[in-house]
Every structure is written in C-alpha cells, then in structure tokens.
Structure 1
Amino acid sequence: CDQGGECELQDLSMGYGRSVSRFVERKRTIPDENLGPLVETEMTRCIQCTRCIRVMSEVAGTYELGGMERGERLQIGTYVGKPLMSELSGNVIDVCPVGALTNKPFRFKARAWELIARESIGYHDALGSNLWLHTRRGEVLRSVPRDNEAINECWLSDRDRYSHEGLKAADRATMPMIRKNGELVETSWAEALAFVADRLRESGGDIGALVAPLTSSEEGHLLARLLRGLGSDAIDHRLRQADFSDAPRASAFETPFAAIEKAGAVLLIGCHPRNELPLLNHRLRKAARAGAKVYVVNPLDLEFNFDLAGKHIATPAAMVDIVLGLARAANDAGHLPASSSLAKELTRATANESAKDWIARLADAGVSTVILGEAAVQHAEASWLRAAAKFIARVTGSGYNEIPSGANAIGLADAGVAPQKDGREAAAMLASPPKNLIVYQAGSADFAEPAAFERARSETGFYVYMGAYACAGVRSKAQAVLPIGLPPEIDASYTNIDGTVQTVAAAARLPGEARPGWKVLRALGSALALDGFGFTEIGEVRAQMGKAQTATPSRDAEPRTPSASSPYTFERIATTAIYRADAVLRRSPALNAHPLTRGAMAVLNPADAGKLGLQDGDRVRVEDTLLPAAIDAAVPEGAVWIEAGYAEVAALPGHGSALTIARASA
C-alpha cells in the first residue's frame, strides 16, 4: 500500500490491534473510479469515514464526492464518473486515514521513511503557502501542506502540490552556453561569464532586464544593482501589465489575509479567485457562508462556489465604465474629494441604483474589502480601474487589495526591480528593445504580448538568458545561456500579499552545472568590477538589501480616450489558465493533463457564434491564428475568451485587444 508508513489505520492497528484478524468472511471489493490525473483511488481500502466528502464540500466547496448506496453497499465516488475539477482536490489525500486516496504522480515512487522533509513555500501565486517538500537524494518527490493559520491554514492548492514535476522537464538548462560561429555550444562557467561581462562592459548603459515575478528578492536586488551599476534603469518584472501610466507598484493587502473571512462585504473587480488565488477563494467562501455580501464586476460569468449578492458581467472596455459608475456612487454618498483627474471623469459617469446599493453595503459593513484581480491589473486602462477602486475603498472605509502579478511581485518592487527615474518599463522595452537584453527566468508565455517579446529578443543586439529552461526559442536566439536554479533549489526570500517576508533554504539538488542566481550575479558583478558585489554569503546580500532604499514614483492616470468599436471585431479576454501561469507549471505533466488545462480555444457568446454560423468544435480564424471554437454564455456579447499561457495563441495581442474572427474555410 502506498500509504505504508504514514497510515493512521496502520498506526492504530500496530498499537492496539491483534496480530491475527478475526474476520473470516469473504471481503468485498469495490471498483476504482478514475478521479483524474492528481488523485489515485484504491476504494477497497476505504473505511467510509467521509472525510474526503467533507473536504470537497466544506473546503473546496464543489460537492464532487458523495456516498452512494447504503449499509455494506456504501461507496464513495463522484457518481457521474468524471474527474475532480476542484483546484483544491489534492487535500482529500491528506485527510484520508488509509490508502484509499493517494497522490497519483507520487504513486510507488518512494516510502515515507525514505523521504526528508524540507520547509518551503509555494511560488505560483503571491500567497506563499507554507509547505513541506519531501525529497530523496536531492530530488523533490512530493509536496504537502505545512500549517500556518495566517496564510494557508492546513490546506494546499493543487498547483503548489503538483508543480514540482516541472523541475525535471526535458529542457532544463544544465550547462552554461555561448554562441560561437552561429552555434550555441556548452562551455565552462568562467568562459561564459567572461563572454557576457565583455559584452555588457561595452553596453554604454544601453541595456535592459526583463525579470519573471517568481524571481527571489535577493536575485532581484543584485540584478537591479548590476544594471544601475552599468548606467541603466531599464528593469522590470511587470511583464503581464499593459498600462503603466500611474506607475503601478505591487503592494501588500490593506486587509490582512486571515481577516478576509470576517468581512461583511466584498467587491471583486476583474477577479476570479478560484483561478488566481485558490486559498483566497476559500477565505471568501467562508465569509459568504457567514453572511458577507460579495459583489463582482468581471469580464466573464465564471462559476463561484458561493452565492453572490450582485454581479456585472461586461466586456473589458465596458468594465471601466461600470467601475467608474460605482466610484460616482461613492462620490455622491461620501464626503471625501477625488483626485482632479478622477473627479473630472466622474462627472461623466453614471451611478445606477445597484451601484448605490453596493456602495451602501460596503460602507455599512463592519469589515469590507475591495479586491482587484488579473483582469483588472492587466487591463489596458488598469490605471483608471485602480484609481476608481482606491477611491471606493477610501470612501467606504474598505481595505484596498490588489492581487500581485506573480509570486514575488511585492518583494521585487521592494528590491528595485522596476524603473525608478527615467528608466523604461517592460512594455517600452518590448516596443523598442535595448541593444543588450537580459531575460531572467521568463519565457514568451509570461508576457502580456508574447509576440512583442519574440520580436524584441530577435531584434536586440545581445540577448542573455539567465534561467532554468533552455527552450527552443532560447536556443535559437540567445547569445549566452546561464543556467540558474528554481525556487525549491535555492536559498531565497519572498514577500507575500500580507507583506510578510518568508525565507526558505534550498531543498533540492541543482541539475548539472546550474547555480543559484545570486551566485551567478555576484560573479558577473565582480567580473564587471562593480561596487557592492564583494560578498560570499547570501546573508550579506540580505543585509545589503535591508540598507537599500527603493521608491517607485506614483502618477495620476492619464486622460481616457474612448475606444473605437467595430461590428467585425471582438474584445479579447485573456485571463491566464490556472496551470499555465509560469514556466514550472507549464511543464508539470499531471497539471497539463488536468481538465482545467483546456488548451487554446476561442470561446464565444452563443449570440455571437450564431451570427458567425459557428458550432462547438468548428475552426475559426482569429487574426492569423487558427483555433477551435467553443460556445459559452459566460462570455459577454462582443468579446472572445482566449486564455493566455498556450504557445498556439502567442501571436495574438493581449487582454482587451480588438480581434477579427471569421469561420475558417474547410
């Protein structure tokens, strides 16, 4: 049994049971149901304690498991024979006291007594869930939750539980490489660092860095120090953002994460927490079940596992007008002045009765919160959504909370991984690439405009990739590849949505000649003879970070310009697929086999599909990209939902862009 060595029933039997069974009757057998790629079943072992049913109904909130039949015929299953769809389904493994429900990817990989448990944290969202990494001979074989009541309690999202499989991807970068005579060849670290240092020394300050938001604070601090030592302020981690007019900066939640479940009213703007922060959704569900009123302004009518008090579903462009209408209602009801630019915009906004009711509920609740999600942060007019949401929060006494775009966006902002003076942000670097470009742990799917990134790394004069995966795009375009470790393989610090700095030690062995990023940056800074790189321990880097003061200037949103509409175009809704959010998730076989990894498709409203003469499964041409079509009333008319994170949609423009769609000829 795969549960051997950590089985509650085994422990009780060993401690108090007889050595010989008194049961002489024929034992029953129960067929095993396929619950999907994450949870393995051996239901003959089930003792019908119903813990799994309670976890799915009370924690995950999806009611996917139940008891069928009665008496000795009782069986636990889904009844309909479909895989578990919940983003928290793996927690049934932890509560099962026997070997009936086990970890499918881990099945028969190791025994419990062979594993070493290392403290770590999740790095696929900004919550930083506490977990244990179970390793054997330096290889991560399993992730299980570590109790922390203020963060993840005792639960773990499926992407934090199963992502470790991506550490063993076939395209891991294991050796330094440089381009010689047009070919990328393996070399020594000394030669690779000298090659990169020689080119960067001649950059004349014409250099930029694009940094994945899962990068640790130490690496971010050193990379920012390196660039500024070379005379450049062009560094950014906000790869999925489109609107930089108000100089956005990731910051901690004003409402403590653990206090969200005590809120009396919640306003979600462009946010689907089940997809973006599964354990935030768990807290919101607890609040809703306790009587909280939850209001939603979203571009998609996606399913929530708790009751909503009100919702507005609209295209990305129309969302801005709805939120400004809410701000107008707050302005009419409150006595706090709006900023000059917002006040001017509010004179044109309209507050209907539902907007006034929502604002009144937020103001009257003892604890209330406003939460901005991915579809707001990545919006082309995100600055206006932020300005309106902050004003609503201020007038109603609510906490303003913006979900950071990435695991360590707050830590990187604190470390100076964003332009501070006249530097260029990510979008500007893609539009006009610097002569020398460092890409740190990022791939094209990490950008709001993957095609723009592909153009930028083709057009730049010297492209250095520092990361864990040497994919085909890296191998074909990079002049140098410096392999560095991923979060479970390095000592690192991350700042979560409460502003808590969590420090973890390396748990896994680095593959091949890969090195921790901070060590590579230290060596590169020393080779360039820059100040501040003369250290040998990561503790010295952290001490240096504590002395550094970084500040990102804030600005008001720029004046709005109405977007032109056309009957032949659709606004793209480009939320990121839950298991495609970063490079590690995209390489996890179990998560890629999950039904929530739907694949690239164009999802249209039934009315729009009817006008185009489309049915489910038809092929459509979106700009120059061919995609299968799907029909779903969750998509508003005039919009098309094409999830980001898939290679097939890399050529398409980002969230809120106007797309032409036509039925593909046979």
Structure 2
Amino acid sequence: MSAQPIAGTAPDHVNIEIDGRALQVPKGSMIIQAADKVGISIPRFCYHHKLPIAANCRQCLVEVEMGGKPIPKPQPACATPVAEGMKVHTRSEKALHWQRDVMEFLLINHPLDCPICDQGGECELQDVSLGYGRSISRYSERKRVVADEDLGPLVATEMTRCIQCTRCVRFMSEIAGTYELGGMARGEHLEIGTYIGKTIDSELSGNIIDVCPVGALTNKVYRFQARAWELIARASIGYHDALGSNLWLHTRRGEVLRTVPRDNEAINECWLSDRDRYSHQGLYAADRAQRPLLKRDGAWIETDWDDALGVAVERLRGVRGSDIGVLVQPATSCEEGALLARLAQGLGCANIDHRLRTLDFADAPVAQPWACGVQALQTVDAALLVDCDLRSELPLVNHRLREAAKRGAKVFAVAAQRHDTHFALSEQFIAAPQALPGLLAQLARAVSELDGAPAVPEALRALLVAASVGEPMRAAAHVLRNAGKGSVLFGLQAQRHAQASWLRALAQYIAAATGAAFNAVPDGANALGLARMGALPQQAGLALDAQLAQPRKLYVVYGAEVPEDFADGGKALAALRAADCVIAFSAFASERLRELADVILPIGLTPEIDATLINLDGTLQESAAGARLPGEARAGWKVLRALGGLLDCSGFEFTELAELRAALAPQLAQQPVSGAGLSPPCAVPADGLQRIANVPIYRGDAVLRRAAALQEHALTQPVQALLHPQDALALGVHAGARVNVEGISLPVVIDAAIARGVVRIDTTYPETAALPPHGSTLNLTKA
C-alpha cells in the first residue's frame, strides 16, 4: 500500500515513506535529501549537499514504489525527486544487491594502497566498502593506471585512485568559480585533470581535498606525516581575515600538522580558504622567537623572563606616558587588546592604535559590524564594490556574493583596477587612486537625483555639484535604488586610501539613499574586538599617523612587523629607528626586528593560545589553545599580566583568564562610533604615476609570509611593477623590461586591468614595504 496524503500537509510538501517511515518533505527534494533529514543512511560518493547533482557513481541506488507498484529499474537516490505517495526501500534485498554490485565495479580499478594512502582511516570509499564490498575480488585483469598531474604546492594527486565522482570538478566550477578541473575522454578512459597540465590557482583549492571521497586528492603539505587516528582535533578560528572561519587544528604532540574546516553555516559553511588551511606552516618558521631576547652593548643575548621583564619595566618607567606609543597588530585577541589598553592607561599613555594600514584618520574610523550579515549577502539583488577585491580580502564572502550573482544580482564596482571576482560584473568604473573620490561622487550625484533621494550632506555638496554624470552611472544608480535588497561593500583598499574619509562618506550616502546595507570590510581579523577593548587613541591620544610623524621616545610594538604591516612602512621604519627604545612582543625574531628592537618578548599566536575574536558580523568567538607554545614563549595575556603587575597598573589582579573574560563582558557589548570629519581635498597629482599598493592574498601577516607552500603559490607573484599598456608605451618599456623606482629595480608587467596613470607595486615584500604608500606619486625610469 502506498503512502497516503495526510491531512494538514503543507502545500509545498509531499508525503513519502522511506524504509517504513512516513515523512513529509519539501517538493523538489531528492530521495537522498529526505533520507538524510531523518538520519536514514544511503551510501554515496558523488553526492555532496553543497554541490550540484551529478548522479555519476550510482552507489545510492534504491528500490522505489509508486502507486503500490515497484519501479522495475533501480533509482539513484541523489537524482530522483520525491513524489506524493512514493515508497522507498534503501535496505531491501534488491537495493542491497544493486549497491553491492556498484561497489564491486568501483573497486575494479582502485589500487590496493590503503596502507600508504593519506586518506586511510577517514576515507569514504573504505567506509562504504566495509559495508557493501565483497571480502574477495573476482577481478583478475590488470588495473588501469592514470598519470598524476602537478596541481601546485597545495594539493597532491594520486589519480589512479580516482572514481570519477566529479566532486572536485563541480566544486571548482560552482563554488570556486574558476573552472580549472574537468573530465577528459570517456568510459574507462575518463580522467579528471586540468586539460593542459596547469596548476590550480584558486584561493579555495584546498576544499577539493575535503570533498574527494577517496585518496585521489590529498594535502601536499601534510602528506605522509601522520595517520588520522594519531591526530587530536582542536576547535579554533581563522585569524587572517575578519570572517573568522571555524576550523579544526589537527595536532600530534602539540604540533599542528594540518587544518580542516569546521562546519558553521552562518560563517564559512563547510569550506575553508587556502590561507587559513595552510598558514600553520608559518608557526614553525626558522626565526620563531623561543626565548626572551635583550640587546646589550649592541649584541643580542638570550635571557630569562625575569630579566627581560625587569628591563622592560625599567625602560617603561623611565619615560613619560605621552612619550610612549603602543602599536597593536589588528589580529590580536580581545584579551590581549584589553590588557594593552589597561597597560597604556596605567602608564599615562593615550597613544595606542591598531589601525596600522590606515592613512586617513580624519573621520576617526572604527570597524563596525556588517549591517547585512555574511549569510544574507548571497540573497542580495544588487551590490556595489567600493575599491573592494573580495577574492583576496574575504575569499569565502566572495563565494557568497557569487551565489547572489548566479541568482541574478547586479554587481557594480568602483576601483583603481579591474578585479577578478569569478563572476560577471554589471559595470566597472575605473580611475586612478587620487581620482576615486571624484568617480564615486559621480555615482553619489546620480543617486541623489533620483526621486525621493535624501538630501546630500553639506560636506559633500560641493564635490557632488562638480561631478559630471554619464549614462552608465545613472543606470547603476537606478539599479541600486530599485533593488529589493542591496549592499555596499567598502573594501580594504578603499579604507587604506589617503582620502578614505571621503570615500567612506560618499559610500555611506549611496547606501542610505538606495536603502542598501553598508558593509565595510574590517582591516584585521579582530579589528572590531580591539576597537571595543579600547585599543584606540584615548582622549587627546595620538593616532597612528601622528605617532609616526612625531616619533615617540619609546614604542611598544605588539605582534606587528615593521615595515610590512604598516600602510606607510617607510615612515614606520623611520619612527622606530628614531626612538630611544622599542619593546616588541613578537612571535618572530626577524633580522629587521633585531635591528629595531631593544627587548623581544616571545608570545604565542592565535592557534597556540586561548583567545576571543569578533568577526565582521559582530559574532564573538572563543578558541582554546590547540598547539604547543615553542620554547619559553608564553601566551600574550600572561606576559601582559606579569608586566602590568610589575608596573603596579590597575586591572592586572586576576589569576585566571576566566576572571578577565568575565570583567570584559560589558565592554565586549559596546561598539565605538566613528567620527564624521573629512580629510583635506585631493591634491593635484605631480608628474609621475600613482601607486597602487596591494597587499597580496598570502602576505597579509607575519604567519602567512612564513608559510612556504603559500609563498610558492601562483597567487603570490614575485615583486613587480604593473603598468597599463599606454603608460608602458609612454615610458618606452615593454613586458619583461626593468624600471627603477626609488632606487629599486623592478620587472615590468603589462596589465590592461590597471587604470591609466597608475603603477601597481604590491607591498609587504622586503623590497617594497618601505616605498611611499598607496596613492603616492612615483617617478619611474628605465633601468
């Protein structure tokens, strides 16, 4: 007897029966989805709940009855939609027979190398074959062998193991959006590859390791290091961008051997960006600071904590509070940020800042939670990217926006270069950095001329009056205004602009006038948390720019590298060189830091300490220490507690981290507000080319810069000067030639994605980190 309609069934649901259980499931669902919902296990390989259905492997064959009559042929559960009155048998004699037959076919060509396979112990093929495979093989012919491809430094291949489920192909095309993998040939000759033997250049490529149900794609960095049962999983958080991806650290004897995603649908779903997955290599760099270091008579010596803290206390007591500057790396935890603010207050110092890559402080910018959450971004109808390279800044947020674009959302961009978003933009408006405020003003004026638009703020009126609006701008304004749900994404490059306050005010007006959410990408993994903890100039305190322009006698540098982590690296270098003393809390003792510092106190990194971070949605996330601290390094909050106690500062009386967290709870709920000032109008550029100073995706912080595999990746290009073809022609240089910039010789790359009048020279490289900052005018000469 077939399942009968039940009174009260929702109009968008149907009644079915699976293994004797009556269910109501949404129309359009597949059988496998309905079964998963109630915990009925159906074996599968090609099906993945986040990927399009392929129905390749046929492992999920089930027996189906309709109208009381069995369908004679087996049905793939992943590709068979439910229907009213359907009865499904997943464990009947027929279903099990079909599933076992498919399992036998899949194992015909699979190599017997489980003992040496990295997937051993966590392999879906092993698990399913245990339940559905035969104890012996009837196949005696020679197994096929497939040549491996070099997919780059992150993913290792053993393609003889591949069962052609195409999960990796579908991930690259539908989620990553790069279409770098595909199937070649047919039948038993089908092979998965990159067609022309190229590497995979996606920033999300490591996820194909997770979706691969066999050992065909494995982690090249982790390869042959350990077995799954030797590892301990520790919950942690990604700290290289403000998304705060949830992840597991897999450790053995306290050493992180690999990182894998931890499901959180509201943040990173079940994916992980490559920089969060592979950055753990940087924890074990050769220059890792393992013992306190002191500079005595110009030479560095290792010492103990009592001696190092004693010298730090002596130096801090010997300087007036106003002569101290505190510079904080923006991925620092909330606990450390709060203690640094207390330490500064106890020393009478108001000069503390974590906005190290900011140039314009006119409107006192402070990181704010997103008005439109990450999860909601994939449902927007229109979006505006203001100098925002989402693929580099927030790879998994770029995926969310791509999902919206696939559903028909219109996305516009205003920037100094064309960014590769992996989805089609409706329009891109490109101008040199110093012309960006005027370009964005054109869009703001087009919006202001729409019916019902709010009044233009007085401070912006003159700029909008001077703007001339073309038809493409009017069309973009019309789309943004009429979108049911819109978002304005204010990118890191916009925040690092010399006139960021103008760009921010214009973007906020556009958002308000079109009813869109204003989402500024926080510049740092814990920028929101540090702002709430008070790691900002207090009262008459000096912001970063003033601290560097008027060098302090003593600097406390917490977790940051100079000059790589600063917007104006040259100015930061000069300021620290001019100081009488530099006390560095650092996980690394680089040659540059040894040159600048007088005391180096080794501290732990986020995977090694208990930490609280606040992501761009305003979500507070705690992580516990997962890895062992190297040598005599200590958690930063413990070092600060000891230092604050020795200095008799208030607020350091606690003994456990839980006490500190309890005291910080009210502060964590308070959100500082940005100001409303504007920097002086843009100056007319001098002769030369304006610099775009991008921070490469895998060079954003000290740990990434030390992750060897990420530095070998195709997205980490060698330092070079990128020019528009017409600018290169005017200079008389060609691709591969060299130009001199501020005494540095760089190779030339011709790139039409760059605006006219611009040279892109990425920062954070040793050669370029101290060059004039983003938007500066540079004079290039032929080498």
Q: TM-score, normalised by structure 1?
A: 0.98
TM alignment of 1:493-532, pairs within 5 A:
493-532=612-651
1:211 and 2:337 aligned: no
Offset at residue 354 of structure 1 (A): 2.1
Q: How does 1:173-184 map to 2 (within 5 A)?
A: 173-184=289-300
Asked if structure 1 preserves the Cα contact closer than 8 Å seen for 2:366 and 2:673, the reply is no
Partner of 2:250: 134
The answer to whether residue 219 in structure 2 is matched with residue 103 in structure 1 is yes
Query: Of 566, 569, 572, which residue of structure 2 is paired with 1:453?
Result: 572
What amino acid is aligned across from residue 678 of structure 2 in structure 1?
A: E
* Partner of residue 244, structure 1: 361
Matched with 2:677 is 557
Give the deviation of 1:548 after TM superposition. 4.0
Corresponding residue for 1:234? 351
Q: Cα offset for 1:551?
A: 7.0
One of 389, 392, 396 as aligned partner of 1:272: 389
Tell me the secondary structure at the aligned position of residue 18 of structure 1. Answer: coil
Higher mean alpha-carbon deviation, 113-122 vs 418-427, is at: 418-427
**TM superposition shift of 1:15:** 2.5
**2:162 equivalent to 1:46:** yes
**How many angstroms does 1:349 deviate by?**
2.2
- 1:542 corresponds, among 657, 661, 677, to 661
Distance in 2 (CA, whole Å) between partners of 1:623 and 1:478 is 26
Which residue, 209, 217, 222 being the options, matches 2:339? 222
1:485 aligns with 2:608: no
- The reply to whether residue 116 of structure 1 matches residue 232 of structure 2 is yes
Between the aligned partners of 1:562 and 1:531, the Cα distance in structure 2 is 44
Distance in 1, Cα, partners of 2:125 & 2:554: 61
* CA distance in 2: counterparts of 1:322 and 1:490, whole angstroms: 45
Report the equivalent of 2:462. Answer: 344
Indicate conservation of the 8 Å contact 1:579/1:591, yes or no: yes
Amino acid at match of 2:278: Y
CA distances 1:541-562 after superposition (whole Å, capped 9, x unpaired) = 1122224487756433336434
2:249 touches 2:256 (CA, 8 Å); kept in 1? yes
* Secondary structure, counterpart of 2:779 in structure 1: strand
Question: Which structure 2 residues correspond to residues 284-433 of structure 1 after superposition, within 5 A?
Answer: 284-333=401-450, 334-433=452-551
Q: C-alpha separation between the residues in 2 aligned to 1:218 and 1:343? A: 43
Of residues 253, 267, 275, the one that matches 1:159 is 275
Q: Report which of the two structures shows the higher radius of gyration computed on alpha carbons.
A: 2
Supply the distance in 1 between the matched residues of 2:378 and 2:763 (Cα, whole angstroms).
30
Whether the aligned pair in 2 keeps the contact of 1:435 and 1:462 (CA below 8 Å) is yes
- State whether residues 352 and 538 of structure 2, in contact with CA within 8 Å, keep that contact through their aligned partners in structure 1: no
**Post-superposition shift, 1:263?**
0.1
Deviation at 1:652, TM superposition (A): 0.9
Residues 183 and 559 of structure 1: is their aligned pair in 2 closer, same or farther, counting only changes over 3 Å? Answer: closer
Q: Distance in 2 between matches of 1:372 and 1:160?
A: 23
Question: How far does residue 298 in structure 1 lie from its aligned partner after superposition?
Answer: 1.2
TM-superposed CA distance for 1:356, in Å, is 2.2
Q: Tell me the distance in 1 between the aligned counterparts of 2:626 and 2:459.
A: 50
1:652 counterpart residue number: 771
**Which of the numbers 668, 689, 701 marks the counterpart of 1:582?**
701
After the TM superposition, which parts of structure 1 deviate over 6 Å for at least 4 consecutive aligned residues?
none
Counterpart secondary structure, 2:767: helix
Counterpart of 2:493 in structure 1: which amino acid? A
Q: Which moved more, 1:341-350 or 1:25-34?
A: 341-350
Gaps of 5+ in 1: none
Match of 2:755 among 627, 636, 640: 636
Q: Which has the higher contact order (CA 8 A, sep 6+)?
A: 1
Cα distance in structure 1, aligned partners of 2:384 and 2:155: 34
Distance 1:545 1:56 in 2: 43
SS of corresponding position for 1:446: coil
- Contact kept? 1:237, 1:412, Cα under 8 Å: yes
Conserved 8 A contact 1:483-1:513: yes
Once the two structures are TM-superposed, the CA of residue 426 in structure 1 deviates from its matched residue by: 1.2
Amino acid at match of 1:578: I
State how 1:4-43 maps to structure 2 within 5 Å: 4-43=120-159
- What RMSD over aligned residues (CA atoms) do the two structures have, in Å? 1.3
Task: Identify if the C-alpha distance between structure 1 residues 81 and 509 changes in structure 2 by more than 3 Å, giving closer, same or farther.
Answer: same
Question: Is the deviation greater in 496-505 or in 442-451?
Answer: 442-451
Instruction: Report the counterpart of residue 610 of structure 1 in structure 2.
Output: 729
Q: Decide which of 434, 445, 466 is 2:585's aligned counterpart.
A: 466
AA at the equivalent of 1:351: V
Looking at structure 1, the residues matched to 553 and 673 of structure 2 have their Cα atoms a distance apart, in angstroms, of: 26
Percent identity at matched positions?
55
**Structure 1 Cα separation of the partners of residues 207 and 711 of structure 2:** 19
AA matched with 2:283: L
Partner of 2:263: 147
5 Å matches for 1:252-263? Answer: 252-263=369-380
Offset of residue 389 of structure 1: 0.5
1:9 CA displacement: 0.6
Per-residue deviation, 1:344: 3.3
Distance 1:540 1:356 in 2: 56
Q: Which amino acid aligns with 1:312?
A: F
Asked whether the 8 Å contact 2:333–2:529 carries over to 1, the reply is yes
Residue 68 of structure 1 is matched in structure 2 by 184
8 Å CA contact 1:418, 1:552 repeated in 2: no
1:170 is the counterpart of 2:289:
no
* Deviation larger for 183-192 or 586-595: 183-192
2:174 is the alignment partner of 1:58: yes
Deviations 1:296-338 (A, max 9, x none): 0111112221111111111111211111111112222244233
CA-to-partner distance for each residue in 1:374-418, whole Å, 9 max, x for gaps? 220100000000000001111111100000111111111111111
User: Which amino acid in 1 is paired with 2:782?
Assistant: R
Tell me what 1:592 maps to.
711
| Structure 2 counterpart SS, 1:649 | coil
Tell me the distance in 1 between the aligned counterparts of 2:244 and 2:603: 21
Aligned length: 663
Residues 95/553 of structure 1: CA separation in 2 closer, same or farther (3 Å cut): closer
For residue 200 of structure 1, report the CA deviation from its aligned partner. Answer: 0.7
Write the deviation string for residues 120-173 of structure 1: whole angstroms up to 9, x where unpaired. Answer: 110000000011110000000011011111000011100000000000000000
d(CA) in 2 for partners of 1:417, 1:656: 27
* Alignment-mate amino acid for residue 676 of structure 2: D
Q: CA deviation at 1:19?
A: 2.1
Aligned equivalents of 1:560, 1:194: Cα separation in 2: 45
2:400 paired with 1:283? yes
Amino acid at match of 2:139: F
CA–CA distance in structure 2, aligned partners of residues 562 and 244 of structure 1:
15
Structure 2 unmatched runs, 5+: 1-116
- C-alpha deviation, 1:210, in angstroms: 0.7
